[in-house]
A and B are shown apart, each in its own frame.
Chain A
Amino acid sequence: MIFTGVCGAKGIGIGKAIVLGREEIVPENQSIVSEQVEEEVARFKAALEVTRHQVLGIRSRALSESGENEARIFDAHLMILEDPALVGGVVALIREHRFSAASATGHVIRQYEAMLAELEESYFRERAADLRDVGNRLVRNILGVTAAKILDSLYEDAIVVAHELNPSDIAMMDKARVRGLVTETGGETSHVAIIARAMGIAAVLGVDGITGRVHDGDQVIVDGFKGEVIVRPTQGQRNEYLRLHQISEALNGELRRVAGLPAETTDGYRIEIAANIAYPGEADTVLANGGEGVGLFRTEFLYLDKNALPSEDVQFEAYRKVALTLGTRPVIIRTLDVGGDKRLAALSLPGEENPFLGYRGIRLCLGHAGMFKTQLRAILRASAFGNILIMYPMITDISEVYQANRLLDEAKRELDREGIPFNDGIKVGIMVEVPSAAVTADLLAPAVDFFSIGTNDLCQYTMAVDRGNSAVSHLYQPFHPSLLRLIKHVADVSRAHGIFTGVCGEMASDPRAAVLLVGLGVHELSMNAASIPAVKNAIRNISYELAKKMAERALSLATAAEVRRLLEEVMGEGGTCIQGMR
């Protein structure tokens, strides 16, 4: 049986299924006989008590690890567990309507969740999320299963099949035993995909209804290249995939060897290869894949899906952890980049007609100076523990750099007065992702230590295209001459000013595009960690002379399609052998 989903992470995984069902789904109106009523009521009350203890435990851990604000979220959970409407409602459904404890609980939770979700203000919608969270925990305890328990008892070669996986679920898994991940939710850009890619585990996401079609212990093959999941394969399918698996392992072995080598062209030109990370836990995978630094440390994880802003100490710990893992290697921390498609619950900002042209990135941070300075203080404090650089996102004009630097100076003076150590000479750079910044790179260069080109946003703003809008997404063309010319301009300017230019957009992780970027004069490429070996391999197989010639040629072409054809001519259709598998 073959199921199709979205490619989450490339690779072939073969193993036995461990199915984590969708806890929220409890058989609707599952009924019981009258003799079972009191037993079910007792079961519900016992689960309530177990859940209360679990939440108390989580609360005290949150209090010691993250502080008062984080812990307060769990106070809401505790109040919900003691709520007479919840408790009374569930017991009434069991006694009067003969619902099972689990379906009665699910019923009441859903009823209040819908009520809260309907209210206008975001505060209530967040309470609906609290309710769902604590409700799921309660139902799990009634049913006596927990995701953690199943994950602890993984098979030797496990394929985890789940409705949804949270980053914390994956963190709990024994990675040596997981061969593949399959989820019903999530897409290419979800956290699960990012983490699976970083860990090199094959993943297929968005497979509708899969948890109902697979049983624990079933043979499953995950094809992360094609985005397919084969359940209970035939002997023929199995043999075919064992063969593919061997090839892909051999290629991976070759790439792993390359991963440890520098990205040096055949004529000795060296490129810095770094990784993008979104969580401190990913820092290990950077080194394992041969990353020479972190070119983009996204800090949004500290802010998103939280009711309150993160404290300075919580941030400091996260930044310090990455700095310590990377040792002397550079870690570029990007200051908060929300707005656009990412809303910050803690600030309750009004909706915008054009969020991508609105209050986002550095604009939002400069408008919330207190919040911004807290982050800058945390980064500065962490800079005493490693090689940290600061990067401001969404810069459109030099006055924004000055304003941000003024706050940085204030933060430095405060730390000085408090006698807290930091790196006074910390390097400060900017994202070049708005055409105005790219065009005026020469005006910005004297004020910064480096540029990092965010090709995704730069492409969207240059081509005036929303890549999520299928009517126009074909116009999203990173190889378009307009974008290549902007990149060339920024690289030229930075060389003239003696500063470096990196690229941290998706382009950098495509081996052929990476070579083109090198030819355009970019000094550093930063990408998801799993792409590093293939990109190093591509760079090590071409001369800088040829890359430059190819780039020059590309700049004179009229369309993205012609540029693509040129790359194929020079480097072959796949660019690297691993891509040839697709």
Chain B
Amino acid sequence: MYSRDAVVMNEHGLHARPAAIFVRTANTFQSRITLTRGGKTVNARSILEVLSLGISAGAVVSIAAEGADEKAAVDTLVRLVEQENLGQ
């Protein structure tokens, strides 16, 4: 398993299009991927669960993956949430 922390930089947090892009990107990997915030861990492939975390700008999240492409998955998703203009 491979995991990293990231700070959400997008001013709208992980709402709307950023959340959709995040989930779509997670779906391109084979590994099992989770997103954790404030002690709650959810499936990164589920838009409903990602939205239910209510992640706003500046939040610290942890992204973990387990599987063949775990490192690539985590690194890609961390880069994504740390983009300031994600989905704009």
Contacts and interface: CB of A to CB of B under 8 A. Distances in A.
Contacts of B54: 119-121, 124
Interface stretch (B2-10, B15-23, B62-70, B71-79): B15-23
B20 A112 contact: no
Contacts of B16: 123
16 contacts: A75-B20, A76-B20, A76-B47, A83-B46, A84-B43, A85-B42, A85-B43, A86-B46, A112-B48, A115-B52, A116-B48, A119-B54, A120-B54, A121-B54, A123-B12, A124-B51
A79 B20 CA distance: 8
Interface in A75-110: 75-76, 79-80, 83-86
A116 B51 contact: yes
Contact of A124 (B15, B23, B42, B46): B15
A343 interface: no
Contacts, number: 42
Interface string A422-449: 0000000000000000000000000000
B49 interface: yes
A76 B20 CA distance: 8
Interface residues of B, number: 16
A116 B47 contact: no
Given A75-B20, A116-B48, A121-B15, 5 more contacts: A112-B52, A116-B52, A119-B52, A124-B15, A124-B54
Interface string A112-128: 10011001110110010
Nearest to A114: B52
Nearest to B23: A79
A127 B51 CA distance: 9
Interface string B22-66: 010000000000000000001101111101101010000000000
B51 A85 contact: no
Interface residues of A, number: 18
Contacts of A124: 15, 51, 54
Contacts of B20: 75-76, 79
A131 interface: yes
Q: Give me the 3 closest cross-chain CB pairs, A-B, nearest first.
A: A85-B46, A119-B54, A115-B52
A116 B43 CA distance: 16
Interface of A: 75-76, 79-80, 83-86, 112, 115-116, 119-121, 123-124, 127, 131
Given A76-B20, A121-B15, A124-B15, A83 B47 contact: yes
B72 to A, nearest CB: 20
Contacts of B42: 85
Nearest to A120: B54
Nearest to A109: B48
Contacts of B51: 116, 119, 124, 127
A76 B15 CA distance: 12
A85 B44 CA distance: 10
A129 to B, nearest CB: 13
A353 to B, nearest CB: 25
B48 A86 contact: yes
A83 B48 contact: yes
A136 to B, nearest CB: 16
A123 B20 CA distance: 13
B46 to A, nearest CB: 4
Contact of B46 (A84, A116, A120, A121): A84
Contacts of A112: 48, 52
Nearest to B44: A84
Contacts of B48: 80, 83, 85-86, 112, 116, 131
Nearest to A108: B48
Nearest to A87: B46
Contacts of A127: 51
Contacts of B56: 121
B23 to A, nearest CB: 7
Residue picked from B15, B48, B54, most chain A C-beta under 10 Å: B48
Contacts of B43: 84-85
B17 to A, nearest CB: 9
Contacts of A119: 51-52, 54
Contacts of A79: 20, 23, 47
A119 B14 CA distance: 13
A73 to B, nearest CB: 11
B24 to A, nearest CB: 8
Nearest to A128: B51
A208 B56 CA distance: 40
Contact of B49 (A85, A121, A123): A85
A127 B48 CA distance: 9
A98 to B, nearest CB: 24
